[in-house]
Every structure is written in C-alpha cells, then in structure tokens.
Structure 1
Amino acid sequence: MPKYSTDQIRNIALLGASGSGKTTLAEAMLVEDKKVPRPGRVEDGTTVCDFDDLEKELHHSVDSALAHLDHAGCHLNVIDTPGRADFFGKSIGAIAAVETVVVVVDAGAGIQPITRRAMARSAEHGVPTAIVINKIDNGDPAEMLKSIQEAFGSTCVPINVPSGGGTAVARCFLSGDGECDLGDMSDFHTAIVDQVVETDEELMEQYLEQGEVDGSSLLAPFKQAMIDRHLIPVMFTSAREGVGVSELLDQVAELFPSPVDGSRAVFARGVGEAREELKASQKAGDSLLAHVFKVASDPFVGKLGYIRVHQGVLDGGDSPRLDDERKPVRVSNVMKMQGRESSDLDSIIAGDIGVVSKIDELHYGSILHGESGDSPVMKTIPQPKPM
C-alpha cells in the first residue's frame, strides 16, 4: 500500500489556452518538491510532461500527461493537458478524474476562447475550479483579475496577490496584513471572508457580531465553498521564475478538496425500473470502481490505461471485471507515471490515479469493477465532435 491515505490525496487538472504556461507550471511544481533537479523548458523539449516526439517538435502539448509529487503531507496528482483547440478533447477526459480543475491564464495574453471553454466545461459538470494567473512578471495582474471577475463572476476571489513588482506573492487568505502590488491587503482578505462565511451560518453569525473570524475557522468552510462552486480561488504565479509556486502548492494541500471531501463520481447499474445509482465511497472493503480517462500506447510496454480509482483498491495481480465482460481481466501490474517514466506500485487506493498496462480491451470510459452482476456504468464527459 502507498504511504498516503485517500484524505491526503489532491487531484488537479491543469486546463487553459496554449501558451498560458500549464506545462511550465507542472514542471515548476516538480522542481519545487525536488522530483526533478532543474526545470526543463518547453522550447527545448526537456519538460517531464511534454515527452512525446511530436510535442518536442511542435513545442506544445498534444495529449494529457500525468505527474505526481508529495507536498506538506499530501500526495498530489497533476494532469497537464493540451491547450490548442484541436486537442481540447484530450483535456476534457481529465476533468472526470480530478476533484479540482485549475484553469491557467496568461497575465499578458488574457482570456482566450479555450479559457472560456475550460471554465464552461468545469461548471457544466460541477467540478470545483481554481484559476492561476501566470506570467505575472510580463503582464498586468490587476487588469487580468478585473477581466476574470467580469467574465466569470464575483466568486473569483484572490487568495494570494503579487508583491514586489511581480517578484513574489503575498497570501491574503488567513490575514490582511502585509503589502501587495494590487492595493490594500485587508480588502482582499475581507473579500475572501465575505465569500466563505456565506456557506456556514454559525460562522456568518460570528462574523456579523464580531466583525471578524479566526483564520483557522475558515479552512473547512473554504473547502465546502469550493465544492459548492460558491468560490473560485484565484492565485498568481510566474512559473518560469518559480514565483508563487510554493504558495500554490501550500494552498492546494491545505485548501483544495480531497477525494473524501469532493468525490462526485456517480455510477449506475441495471436497466429500466431495476436501475440503481451507485455513489462511490471510500469505506474499507468496498468493491472496486475505477474508470479509464486516457488510453495510450508505449512501444515497449504496449497499451496503457490511465485510471482513476473511485472506490476500493486495485492491486497488481488482481483480476477485476472490465465493463460488461463476464470474464475477468488480468492486471499484471499497476504503476505511477512521471511523464513518460513509470514506477511500479503494489496497489492504487481509492481516490488515487495510476496506470495499468497490456489490457487490450481497455478504451476511454472503460469501467474496472469487482461486481459479478450487471456492470456499473459511469457518465463520462463527452468528447467534442471533430471539426
């Protein structure tokens, strides 16, 4: 078993327009937690997530890629996705595998059509969402924040803000102390509190009576506000320079929902009047429920199925059922992927993301399960129609 539990997992997918810096941000996260010794560059074809030969040639992502790291007592799975319109279908598959979609926006280029599509798809499927305004050293963060709030609503609230002329970020979640480039820090802190307390009646009463609340009492309501999509936290980074990356990871670990908090996966079994809904749970001993959100081919390993385990545990050597097949399939081994590189696992626990290999019957949307009766099905996010 892994050294972490389901409540310590954080799953995020990076979506956004091509050139917004998603792959560079994923790289900076890996560098921050020393998974790689130095940052690769998209232009040089040396990043962990853009490992395909075509990606190296084109200098942009053409498929989603999986990376992972450990930070502040949490295990973080990061799915980096392509941002060009002709590859957006590859991004959509990642949404059903995570608790939080992180939409990355270039502070200089601004809101792009893909930005709007990513926000719309996340809202359509009720996925908690955060926004990262990247490249703050080469744009106008204040104007970008204003544009985001105009486009996507007042629920988009900063939880950190640029300082030092874009050379650092200052946290405004727990307190309004300090200085920043965008105005009065206390105003940003108040905006967070105003948004969060609306989800908790007791906290709202305390706030109205005392005019303030202790920062630590905001943690659970903040997470619930994200799950309810009553709050879309906004953060600032310059991924290329490493600015704001540590703060981003801290806030993902502390504030973003885990699979225990925010799992939305709903399966169904049976047909007609006998059809019943199955809500994934994280109780020990529950039978396996997992879905395939990406299929790839490796010249050495063969077919790879990228899976999110929603319930139960998938061990290497298990023989679960696949879709409505009556005959079990053999899972020879389970793996973690760091871009192209794989490492063997003993098991993939509920809430975690991993990879299985050499199961030819796998396809996008396949369900691996331990049921002996009717096969569970899951409503996957439909792919866009080809242009």
Structure 2
Amino acid sequence: MAERATGTAGAAGRAPMADRPDMVRNVVLVGHSGAGKTTLVESLLAATKTIQRHGRIEDGTTVSDFDEVEIRQQRSVNLTVAPIVYNDIKINLLDTPGYADFVGDLRAGLRAADAALFVVSAADGVDGLTRILWEECAAVGMPRAVVITKIDHQRADFDEVLATCQDAFGEGVAPLYLPVITNGKVNGLIGLLSRKFYNYATGARGEHAPGPDHEARIDEYRDTLIEGIIQESEDESLMDRYLAGEEIATKVLIDDLEKAVARGGFYPVLAAGGGVGAEEILEIVTQGFPSPLEHPMPEITTIDGKPVTGIACDPDGPLVAEVVKTTSDPYVGRISLVRVFSGTLRPDMTVHVSGHGLADRGHEDHDVDERIGALSSPLGKLQRPAAKCVAGDIVAVAKLSRAETGDTLSDKDRPLLMTAWTMPDPLLPVAVQARSKADDDKLGQALGRLVAEDPTLRLENNPETKQLVLWCMGEAHADVLLDRLSKRHGVEVEKVDLRVPLRETFGGKCQAMGRNVKQTGGHGQYAICHLEIEPLPSGGGFEFVDKIVGGVVPRQFIPSVEKGVRTQMGRGVVAGYPVVDVRVTLYDGKAHSVDSSDMAFQIAGALALKEAAAKVPTLLLEPVDEVAVLIPDDYVGAVMSDLSSRRGRVLGTEPVGVGRTLVRAEVPELEITRYAIDLRSMSQGTGTFQRTFLRYEPLPPHLVDKVTA
C-alpha cells in the first residue's frame, strides 16, 4: 500500500506467467453495469504499463479490446481476464458482466478468483444486485475490498456513497483514502493511516502534508479506521493500549490491516477516477489480498464420487484444473480459460476431461482424454504464448475440443472431478426457428458450440409443440445468444410465439360406439366396440377397464382397442392436445371371423373416443406451476399483487435471512412465460424465483378461444 511503500510495475509487452503460487493474485471485479469496472481495468493496465493510455502495448501492438466500442460492448456480457505485473507479482484481473442475465459468467469469475474488488460508482451508489453478490462472497468467506469509482463525476458524492456502502455491506467497511477534489478536479488522495496527501496534480504521485482544512475530516475517518483494524487484530492488547491513549505505530496497523483483509475480516474502501487511485488499488491487491496458497481448495472427488484429500496448491502436485470459461470462433476454434488449482499445465500434455452434471440443460457429461494445445496469456483479443501454467494461475488453452465450461482437467492416470459451482436455472423460454433450410442445416452444430460456452443456457426440443426452445437467463441473454448465432456462426434464426403444451379431458360421462366396417374385394375390415368414457380426478392418468363377457370381442383384440384409444388420446379429440385423466371401459362389441383384425379394432377404439367427444363437453387443461419468489422485503406487496393478477394463488410468505422474504404461489404456466423479465423489472434486479410443475387445471372459458387460436 501507499501507506507502506511505492510499488513498481512489471515489464510491459510480455506474457506474464508466474513460477510460484505465492506470486499470483486472482482478483474478480464485481459491480453493476456502468459502475466503471472496465474503465478501472484499463487504468490498472495503464498504471502497470501493460498498455499505454491509447490502448497499445509498449511494443506498439494494438490491444483491440481497449480501443473499439464494439469490443467493449462484448466485454460487458463476457467474463474476460487481463493479467498484469506489479512488484513482480502477477495479478489476474477478472472483469465480470454487470447484468443479471450474465450471472453465469460472474459465478465463474468468483470461482476462479481468490478475492473480489466491488466496484461502486460515486454517482450512482449501490444497487440491489451488488448487495446480493456481497452476500454470496460473504457466504464463502471471500476477501473483499470496495473501490468507489467516478469520483470526478459531476454528480459524485464520495461521502454519501461511502455511507451507503457501509450500510449495505455491514461492519468492517472503512476507507483507507479520502479523495481531495477542488472545483470538480481530483487533485489526489489523503492516506488516513499515514496522514499524507498523495498529490497527482503533476501526473506523478508526490507526497505532502495535508492542509489544515482537511484535519477534522481526517480525524473523523481515521479513528473509525483504526478502531476497525484493531477489532480484527490478533493482538488482544492492542485495543487496551489504543483506548489508553497510546499512539499505535503505523507499521503495526498496516500489518494487522493486511492480515484482516486477507482472511476476509476487514474490507477497505478505496477511491478511483480523475487519474488517481490505480497505484493504491494495486498495493492493496498485492499486499492485502491472499495468494492462491491461502485460498481453500474446492471439493475434489474421484470420477465415481469418492472424496479426495491432501491435494494442495502445489506446482509439483497432481494436476487439478477447471475450465471457467469457453469461447469459440469459426476461424480460431475453441479457447478455454483454465484456472489451475494444483499441478502444472504444459502444452502438448494429455489430460483427462471430466464433468459436469448438467445433462438436463443439453450439456453431456464428459469422461475422455484430450491433448492440450498451445497455452497463452490473454490480453484483449491478443493471445501471448506461455510455456506453462503453475498451480494458482490462469491460462488460455487452445483446441480442447471436448472440454466445456465447468469441466475438470486432471492427470490421465489419475482422473479427478471438482465439485461444480452453483449455476442459476434459466427461466425465460424463447422459441426460435431457422430462417431458411441452409440455416436449419447449420443450426445444430452452432447450438452445440453455444451450449459448450454457456452452462446457463438450456436447450429443449419440445416433442409436443415441436418447437426448439432456448431457456435463457433474461432478454439480454437471449439477444446475445441470437447475435452470436448470426455473427459468429452464420446462422439466422427468428423468434416465434412460445406454445405452452395443454391437455384435454372429458367434462362428463358418456357411452360411445366405434364402428369400423368396410367391405372390399378381398379381406375387409370389421370391428365394433362399445366404450364408456368417464373423467378421473386431476392427476388420475388413464385407466382401461375390460368388461367383455361371452367373447363378443375376442381376447386377442381387446389390447387392440386399448392401443387405438391410447393413440387417439395422444392426438387429442378436439384441439389436438393429448387427452388425460380418463377411464375407458370396453363393455360390448362385435367381431367377424374373417374380416376382424388388430388394426380394425385399433381404428374402432379411436373412432369411439372421437364420438364420445362429440357427445359431452371437453375441457382444455393448462399446466400450473408452484412458484417460489425470493425478494427483498420492500417488494413483497408488489410481487404478491402481480402474482394475483396472473391468476395466481398466493399460498403464503416466510422470512429468509435478514430483509428478504420467500413468497409461494401457484400460477398457470401461460402467465409466467416472461416472468423472469417482469420480476427483474419489479424488484430492480434483486428478485429470483424457481418454478416446479404441479398439475393441470381447467382453462377458464374466456381464454379457450384465444389459446386454441
């Protein structure tokens, strides 16, 4: 930290790869869209001379990610990594999307990182999604720091946003620096522990004593900071000495601060914007954040699920690595971003690929050997060759044709499996169809590549509606997927109206006859059956009852009648939807010794069911889901009212943790096809929900014509 010493940047233009885990820091940047994460990454790249301010590496190579608007837009929906070197320590900066739709990439960034920088705009403050992500990091004990960006913005209010952060994130959040702003221009930062003014007016950092007009503000924040550090100190005598009026040495405070930050007990707040703050952030990252050696190892098992212990972050240990991000390009091929947790990854070695338990989303499980391609250190679109990747580091691997996001790479002679990180369920269905026959021919392969990249995507080929459905995280997620199909894979698709699979049933009891009598020149068809049809309670399924006496329908043809009834039930009797919840009783019939056959009685059974549908009313049934909505308390009323307006029945509420409520309801599927979008709008991105099929219920009469049309 600046409170300790001034750091130095690493050599520019080279591919930084660490030789030891203790020389690596993996840091994920978290914050909502517009908070300034990407701008902060660029300033850190420039501060370490990895790129110049105009987006070029020192040797003149253009890093297109930092000077093209289109590429910046792509970065806003993708997890990207930018490796830099500071004080001979390699820092992997993992820039995550700021939209809730791309939480899959954000979770991948959390998995690959050992600490998090929460980026909050001084002009906009803390949003609900950032609060939720803070809680996620707290649940796993991830060390964190807060960077308040855009302090030079005309609407910036550092003190107010700092107070908001302290209220939102809880105890242990305190500033290390205070920005000095005069007439809207950022002049520098005041270090609270050192009581020094770091002046950036000339571009380079200079140290001065703060002016007397700053003393009262320094004292206010400094006392709070010192008390917070001492509370986290392992030296129990420190608090007594401080309360007794002893001046605690700055070095002691900095040592305790760094330890508290590394174990996730204290969360320093830094400031950035107007050309200041990068140096101070790099210092807290390298000196306060933990190395991979200090990060707990994810749970590891054998392929058959037996726990494996004793594996540590050791370059000489058994290989255990994980694919945290997959991208594919029709020209470059597949690139896998890999975090190595144990062992050393080298080009051309053969590894075992295993994973990953998402078969229900169209992601097949893997258990194969693959040869590693070239290793590289990514920076923007530039891939700089790397000779190896040791435990704790992150690297890009070329041409892993079978590995997908979430898969484990291990020694081929000792296959292992890492427990996958939790992925949210995609709950927005989007039905699509190919625009042309040529697009249809290429669609399957293109979708396979998208599935390999994105574990939050689920593909469904609905056998009832005959529709291809992409289950997405939200509207922005769907738009990005369709854009990738078009621009990256040359496949044009268009959205179509989603069809919800309905059911039919009988509204009353009746009797009907199926008569299939046809005479031709040779063998004819002769089959007559009398059926009694009656509805069953919801969920009753199908029952076939044989009450034939006297052999009026030969025994070998009774299964034929049932088969014909079942076939017609699958086709529907009125609107073309499958028939459910019905009991069919065969009680009479006639046969011919020559012209009766299996097929004749199948047709007769089907005809009898269709005749019954003409005699009694039939009902359309719609699927009803049980929905569980988790929201902040402030939105409970709005959500319950909205569910009721969707023909839902609210079953009750229950508190979950502090300030959050779970609302349970039963809602027709027809009413929640776009609920993922609507809930996000209602709750400002803080609400989540789950849905489970419950049963079928009669569709209200006023909706029958609309739905069947």
TMscore range, shorter length: 0.7 to 0.9
Give the C-alpha shift of residue 63 in structure 1. Answer: 0.6
Instruction: Check if 1:356 corresponds to 2:397.
Output: yes
Q: Are the counterparts in 2 of residues 175 and 215 from structure 1 also a CA contact under 8 Å?
A: no
Aligned to 1:208: 240
Instruction: Check if 1:329 corresponds to 2:370.
Output: yes
Instruction: Check if 1:347 corresponds to 2:388.
Output: yes
Cα offsets for 1:139-166 (capped at 9, x unmatched): 0000010111111112111112212443
Match of 2:82 among 67, 80, 83: 67
Instruction: Check if 1:159 corresponds to 2:159.
Output: no
Cα offsets for 1:284-326 (capped at 9, x unmatched): 5211111111111134321111111111110112112111666
Q: Which runs of 5+ in 2 are unaligned?
A: 1-15, 56-61, 198-208, 356-365, 427-472, 474-675, 677-709
How does 1:212-251 map onto structure 2 within 5 Å? 212-238=247-273, 241-251=274-284
Aligned to 2:191: 171
Instruction: Check if 1:133 corresponds to 2:148.
Output: yes
Give the C-alpha shift of residue 79 in structure 1. Answer: 1.0
Aligned to 1:12: 27
Q: Are the counterparts in 1 of residues 115 and 143 from structure 2 also a CA contact under 8 Å?
A: yes
Q: Which runs of 5+ in 1 are unaligned?
A: 41-45
Cα offsets for 1:194-232 (capped at 9, x unmatched): 223333432x31442363433333455334423443211
- Taking the aligned partners of 1:51 and 1:301, their CA distance within structure 2 comes to 21
Question: Which amino acid is the alignment partner of residue 237 of structure 1?
Answer: A
How many residues in Structure 1 have an aligned counterpart in Structure 2? Answer: 377
Give the C-alpha shift of residue 52 in structure 1. Answer: 8.6
Give the C-alpha shift of residue 55 in structure 1. Answer: 4.5
Give the C-alpha shift of residue 13 in structure 1. Answer: 1.0
Give the C-alpha shift of residue 384 in structure 1. Answer: 5.2
Question: Which amino acid is the alignment partner of residue 94 of structure 2?
Answer: I
Cα offsets for 1:169-191 (capped at 9, x unmatched): 22224558854869532443333
- Taking the aligned partners of 1:94 and 1:51, their CA distance within structure 2 comes to 23
Question: Which amino acid is the alignment partner of residue 214 of structure 1?
Answer: A
Q: Which structure ranks higher in relative contact order (CA pairs < 8 Å, sequence separation ≥ 6)?
A: 1
Question: Which amino acid is the alignment partner of residue 163 of structure 1?
Answer: V
Aligned to 1:142: 159
Match of 2:411 among 370, 378, 381: 370
Instruction: Check if 1:29 corresponds to 2:44.
Output: yes
**Which structure's residues are more often strand, by fraction?**
2
Match of 1:303 among 322, 331, 334: 334
- Taking the aligned partners of 2:311 and 2:147, their CA distance within structure 1 comes to 30
Indicate the larger mover: 162-171 or 87-96: 162-171
Match of 1:194 among 227, 245, 248: 227
Q: Cα distance 1:271–1:108, how it changes in 2: closer, same or farther (>3 A)?
A: same
| Identity within the alignment, % | 25
Aligned to 1:97: 112
Question: Which amino acid is the alignment partner of residue 421 of structure 2?
Answer: T
- Taking the aligned partners of 1:52 and 1:367, their CA distance within structure 2 comes to 34
TM-score (norm 1): 0.87
TM-score (norm 2): 0.49
Give the C-alpha shift of residue 7 in structure 1. Answer: 0.9
Q: Are the counterparts in 1 of residues 121 and 149 from structure 2 also a CA contact under 8 Å?
A: yes
Q: Are the counterparts in 1 of residues 318 and 410 from structure 2 also a CA contact under 8 Å?
A: yes
Give the C-alpha shift of residue 112 in structure 1. Answer: 1.5
3-state DSSP class of the match of 1:226?
Answer: helix
Q: Are the counterparts in 2 of residues 27 and 47 from structure 1 also a CA contact under 8 Å?
A: no
- Taking the aligned partners of 2:144 and 2:425, their CA distance within structure 1 comes to 21
- Taking the aligned partners of 2:41 and 2:64, their CA distance within structure 1 comes to 8
- Taking the aligned partners of 1:31 and 1:220, their CA distance within structure 2 comes to 28
- Taking the aligned partners of 2:288 and 2:87, their CA distance within structure 1 comes to 12
Q: Are the counterparts in 1 of residues 346 and 387 from structure 2 also a CA contact under 8 Å?
A: yes
3-state DSSP class of the match of 2:369?
Answer: coil
- Taking the aligned partners of 1:378 and 1:64, their CA distance within structure 2 comes to 20
Aligned to 2:630: none
Aligned to 2:296: 264
Indicate the larger mover: 183-192 or 337-346: 183-192
Q: Cα distance 1:154–1:47, how it changes in 2: closer, same or farther (>3 A)?
A: farther
Indicate the larger mover: 248-257 or 223-232: 223-232
Cα offsets for 1:330-370 (capped at 9, x unmatched): 11221100011101111001111111010111111111112
Q: Cα distance 1:27–1:196, how it changes in 2: closer, same or farther (>3 A)?
A: same
Q: Cα distance 1:270–1:75, how it changes in 2: closer, same or farther (>3 A)?
A: closer
Give the C-alpha shift of residue 62 in structure 1. Answer: 1.4
How does 1:279-290 map onto structure 2 within 5 Å? 280-290=311-321
- Taking the aligned partners of 2:161 and 2:397, their CA distance within structure 1 comes to 41
Q: Are the counterparts in 2 of residues 49 and 65 from structure 1 also a CA contact under 8 Å?
A: no
Aligned to 1:43: none
Indicate the larger mover: 164-173 or 69-78: 164-173
Aligned to 1:318: 349
Question: Which amino acid is the alignment partner of residue 167 of structure 1?
Answer: N
3-state DSSP class of the match of 2:50?
Answer: coil
Q: Cα distance 1:21–1:277, how it changes in 2: closer, same or farther (>3 A)?
A: same
Indicate the larger mover: 86-95 or 182-191: 182-191
